[in-house]
């Protein structure tokens, strides 16, 4: 239960509205019980009075009408106020969760599947709305209304009032506690099976094309069906217990009404002539009072799920980022006037990924002069992409340091580093948005349409402009209308629209044919004429145009130099690589 405390503190941000909702809930509940109680007394008293007796029916009838209207109005506004306040709290919670997970990217978030992150951010946060709407507010309302009911009934007979009040309080403690215990036995498993089903379902939908292509749809669909059946089994168990709670409360209700009738029949009241009316009053009060308890049994079944969801969200929020951006220096001040060259110095760099033992980089030392063009070559898994990840501080090395303009990379603010470095990863993300907005993210300032059109034509995406929508073409989730090569060229278009002084490109021509590759490399080299370029590649097209080649193998820098130097080196790794590729 302690895991819920941080989420309960969020209610302070809307405490007035939540308190107003609680007051309206108490008012509506009290009006509902009062309506049935007064109606029972009024009907019985009217029957006893008869036609020829004097009986003031104006006040009771007005009370009945007032309570009916008051109940409707109170419940209407209670639903509006409580749901609006709850949604506002959930919105703040989502913002809080999102602000916590942003610094975790990508080092920590790589441990989670994207669909699992989505499920925690949406479904698990949604489950937490039960805290106020179904648990806290109804429980506090029940206590208050039971006290008010006991005080009101004691004006007529305090012994019967105490019996009804004490019985309701006992049931208020026993029934929710019982079903809380029963719910916790499977609540966590229900939440986990729900999360597993939604995760598998999202991945199943996203991978439909590949599954159909490789005829792998059936086994995954069977696995999804098994997960769904497990989830439904827990839901069936929850439904059975909810039905049991309703049955127990109905049985207790009938029992208390019968006992109330028994004792009320022999009780003394201030007006003996209307004794039967007071018997009806207490009987209907006991009957109506169970409206207080009826929702609580089933609601407390959900505490196990609420706690499990809170644990899943807290697990994500409590993760510590591996990289802390607490520097204050800006690269713009060092380079804007050209006083200091933006050299990159790498000294004795050692790094291994979290939860792995093998080194991704081992004692790597490298100098990259400002404005130079560096090509990094090597086998798959040798550490080339890792070097770029460290240069943008997605990770921090375990040993060694990286210097930008003579200062440790940790000394710079995140914004300054992001503005100075343009990083193209192997996987180009295409947002579910227009072509224009997918290009606009390349620069902080507004990019004119003419410039976008020019770049798209240069990278060979003029076919997209031939569509009727032009730059307003909707690319869809993950860029489904685009081929792999078109997505790669869209990423290159972003690079050409970016004015950062440092370009880091990871396999920018992967998946492109030779002619297109040469064209793209010409664009890249022209764009980076006055910039620093570090390009990871395993292809040798136009490799002689780079100022320096760096060969990485088994996490180590084994060769570096110009193309002419390395190709002339007898038994050199690069020469062997070039001969093998040719």
Of 262, 291, 317, the last residue of a domain is 317
CATH number for the domain harbouring residue 81: 1.20.1560.10
Q: Which domain holds residue 561?
A: 331-431+502-581
Considering the domain architecture, whether residues 361 and 279 belong to the same structural domain is answered as: no
In a domain, 460, yes or no: no
**Alpha-carbon distance 154 to 171, whole Å?**
20
- How many structural domains compose the chain? 2
Considering the domain architecture, whether residues 258 and 128 belong to the same structural domain is answered as: yes
Considering the domain architecture, whether residues 179 and 244 belong to the same structural domain is answered as: yes
Q: Is the torsion defined by CA of 352, 357, 360, 366 positive or negative?
A: positive
In a domain, 486, yes or no: no
Considering the domain architecture, whether residues 228 and 288 belong to the same structural domain is answered as: yes
Considering the domain architecture, whether residues 337 and 313 belong to the same structural domain is answered as: no
In a domain, 481, yes or no: no
Considering the domain architecture, whether residues 238 and 339 belong to the same structural domain is answered as: no
In a domain, 467, yes or no: no
In a domain, 209, yes or no: yes
> 267-276 burial, b for 16+ CB within 10 Å, e for fewer?
bebeeeebbb
Write out the E strands in 299-352: 344-351
Q: Are 373 and 525 in contact (CB under 8 A)?
A: yes
Q: How many Cα neighbours within 13 Å face the side chain of 581?
A: 14
Considering the domain architecture, whether residues 261 and 409 belong to the same structural domain is answered as: no
Considering the domain architecture, whether residues 44 and 72 belong to the same structural domain is answered as: yes
CA distances from 412 to 107, 345, 487, 491 (A): 19, 15, 32, 26
Q: Are 110 and 325 in contact (CB under 8 A)?
A: no
Write out the E strands in 5-149: none
Query: What is the side-by-side strand order in the sheet with 361-368?
Result: 361-368, 344-351, 399-404, 407-408
In angstroms and rounded to an integer, the radius of gyration of the C-alpha atoms of the chain is 35
- Give pTM, 2 decimals: 0.74
In a domain, 225, yes or no: yes
Q: pLDDT truncated to tens, each residue of the chain (582 aa)?
A: 677 887 888 888 888 888 999 999 999 999 999 998 888 888 888 887 765 566 677 778 888 889 999 999 999 999 999 888 888 888 888 888 888 888 887 778 878 887 888 888 888 888 887 888 888 888 999 999 999 999 998 988 889 999 999 999 999 989 888 888 888 888 888 888 988 898 888 888 878 878 888 888 888 889 999 999 999 999 999 899 888 988 998 899 899 999 998 988 888 776 777 788 888 889 999 888 888 888 887 788 888 888 888 888 888 888 888 888 888 888 754 444 343 468 899 999 999 988 788 888 999 999 999 989 999 998 888 889 999 999 999 999 999 999 998 889 999 998 888 889 999 988 888 888 888 998 998 888 888 989 999 999 988 888 888 888 888 888 877 777 788 788 888 989 999 999 899 999 998 888 778 888 888 899 999 999 889 999 998 888 888 899 999 999 888 999 899 988 888 888 888 888 777 765
Q: Are 398 and 352 in contact (CB under 8 A)?
A: yes
Considering the domain architecture, whether residues 270 and 342 belong to the same structural domain is answered as: no
Q: Give one word for 571, left, alpha or beta, with left for phi > 0 and alpha for psi -120 to 50.
A: left
In a domain, 493, yes or no: no
**Alpha-carbon distance 494 to 523, whole Å?**
12
Considering the domain architecture, whether residues 279 and 393 belong to the same structural domain is answered as: no
Of 292, 317, 342, the last residue of a domain is 317
Considering the domain architecture, whether residues 511 and 565 belong to the same structural domain is answered as: yes
CATH number for the domain harbouring residue 378: 3.40.50.300
Considering the domain architecture, whether residues 117 and 185 belong to the same structural domain is answered as: yes
- How many C-beta atoms surround the C-beta of residue 336 within 10 A? 10
In a domain, 110, yes or no: yes
Q: Which ranges of 354-483 would DSSP assign to H, the alpha helix?
A: 384-391, 414-420, 435-440, 449-458, 462-465
Of 263, 294, 317, the last residue of a domain is 317
């Amino acid at each position: 239960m302690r895991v819920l405390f941080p989420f309960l503190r969020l209610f302070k941000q809307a405490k007035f509205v939540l308190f107003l909702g609680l007051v309206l809930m108490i008012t509506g509940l009290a009006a509902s019980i009062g309506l049935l109680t007064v109606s029972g007394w009024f009907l019985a008293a009217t029957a006893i009075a008869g036609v020829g007796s004097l009986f003031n029916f104006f006040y009771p009838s007005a009370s009945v009408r007032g309570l009916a209207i008051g109940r409707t109005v109170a419940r209407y506004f209670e639903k509006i106020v409580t749901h609006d306040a709850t949604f506002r709290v959930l919105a703040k919670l989502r913002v809080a969760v999102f602000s916590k997970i942003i610094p975790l990217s990508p080092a920590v978030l790589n441990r989670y599947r994207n669909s699992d992150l989505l499920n925690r951010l949406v479904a698990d946060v949604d489950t937490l709305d039960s805290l106020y709407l179904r648990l806290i507010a109804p429980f506090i309302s029940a206590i208050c209304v039971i006290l008010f009911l006991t005080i009101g009934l004691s004006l007529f007979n305090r012994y019967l009032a105490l019996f009804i009040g004490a019985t309701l309080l006992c049931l208020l403690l026993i029934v929710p506690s019982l079903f809380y215990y029963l719910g916790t036995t499977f609540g966590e498993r229900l939440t986990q099976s729900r999360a597993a089903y939604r995760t598998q379902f999202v991945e199943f939908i996203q991978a439909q094309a590949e599954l159909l292509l490789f005829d792998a749809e059936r086994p995954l669909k069977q696995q999804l069906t098994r997960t769904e059946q497990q989830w439904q089994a827990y839901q069936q168990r929850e439904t059975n217990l909810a039905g049991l709670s309703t049955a127990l409360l109905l049985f207790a209700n009938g029992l208390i009404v019968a006992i109330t009738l028994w004792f009320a029949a022999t009780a003394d009241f201030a007006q003996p002539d209307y004794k039967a009316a007071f018997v009806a009053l207490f009987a209907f009060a006991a009957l109506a009072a169970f409206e207080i308890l009826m929702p609580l049994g089933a609601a407390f079944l959900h505490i196990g799920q609420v706690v499990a969801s809170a644990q899943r969200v807290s697990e994500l929020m409590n993760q510590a980022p591996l990289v802390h951006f607490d520097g204050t220096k800006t690269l713009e001040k060092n380079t804007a006037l050209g006083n200091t060259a933006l050299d990159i110095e790498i000294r004795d760099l050692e790094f291994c990924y979290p939860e792995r033992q093998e080194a991704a980089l081992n004692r790597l030392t490298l100098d990259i002069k400002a404005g130079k063009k560096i090509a990094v070559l090597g086998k798959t898994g040798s550490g080339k992409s890792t070097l770029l990840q460290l240069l943008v501080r997605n990770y921090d090395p375990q040993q060694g340091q990286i210097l930008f303009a003579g200062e440790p990379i940790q000394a710079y603010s995140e914004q300054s580093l992001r503005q100075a470095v343009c990083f193209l990863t192997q996987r180009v993300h295409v947002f579910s948005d227009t072509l224009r907005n997918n290009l606009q993210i390349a620069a902080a300032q507004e990019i004119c349409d003419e410039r976008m059109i020019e770049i798209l034509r240069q990278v060979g995406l003029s076919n997209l402009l031939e569509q009727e929508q032009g730059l307003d073409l909707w690319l869809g989730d993950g860029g489904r209308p685009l081929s792999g090569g078109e997505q790669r060229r869209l990423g290159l278009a972003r690079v050409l629209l970016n004015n950062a002084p440092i370009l880091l490109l990871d396999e920018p021509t992967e998946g492109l044919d030779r002619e297109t590759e040469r064209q793209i490399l010409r664009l890249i080299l022209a764009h980076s004429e006055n910039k620093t370029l570090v390009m990871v590649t395993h292809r040798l097209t136009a490799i002689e145009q780079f100022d320096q080649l760096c060969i990485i193998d088994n996490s180590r820098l084994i060769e570096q130099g110009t193309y002419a130097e390395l190709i002339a080196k007898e038994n050199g790794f690069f020469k062997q690589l070039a001969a093998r590729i040719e």
